[in-house]
């Protein structure tokens, strides 16, 4: 006889606690951004869209990439600057051509 009473009491307390929290606003989620670096020769043929500056093609590809990574949309995309990736400081004074630089996509929630 004791177990059903204890179970009922636990259910009542859980329901009361849930109702007490229902009126409270949920804490705001922090705005999250993440930047991905993709090799320029990744093999999918999207480099032309992402490296040519802002375009409809580039935005569609960048958004699709972000969605596949669990983010809502792309904030920014393009060719990564030399200081954005490891091994970017050239030994020779000539910078790497754009085709050799990785692509950058910044995603947001």
Region 68-82: what's the mean pLDDT? 92
97 compared with 11, residue with greater pLDDT: 97
The pLDDT, as a whole number, for residue 27 is: 66
pLDDT for the residue 5: 43
For the cut 80, the answer to whether the pLDDT of residue 93 exceeds it is: no
Q: Which tokens is 66 given? A: 């972000």
Cα torsion angle, 80, 83, 85, 87, sign:
positive
pLDDT at 70: 95
pLDDT at 85: 78
Q: What are the residue boundaries of the structural domains of the chain, listed by start?
A: 29-108
pLDDT digits (tens, 9 = 90+) for 3-43: 444 444 444 444 444 454 555 565 666 789 999 998 887 76
Virtual torsion, Cα 53, 107, 59, 64, nearest 10 deg: 140
Residue range 82-99: average pLDDT? 62
97 or 91, which is more confident:
91
């Amino acid at each position: 006889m004791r177990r059903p009473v204890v179970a009922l009491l636990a259910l009542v307390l859980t329901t009361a606690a849930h109702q007490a929290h229902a009126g409270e606003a949920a804490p705001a989620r922090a705005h999250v951004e993440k930047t991905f670096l993709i090799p320029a020769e990744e093999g999918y043929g999207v480099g032309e869209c992402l490296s040519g500056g802002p375009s409809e093609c580039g935005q569609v590809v960048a958004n699709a990439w972000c969605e596949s990574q669990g983010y809502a949309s792309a904030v920014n995309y393009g060719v990564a600057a030399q200081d954005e990736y490891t091994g970017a400081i050239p030994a020779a004074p000539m910078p790497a051509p754009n085709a050799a630089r990785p692509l950058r996509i910044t995603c947001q929630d």
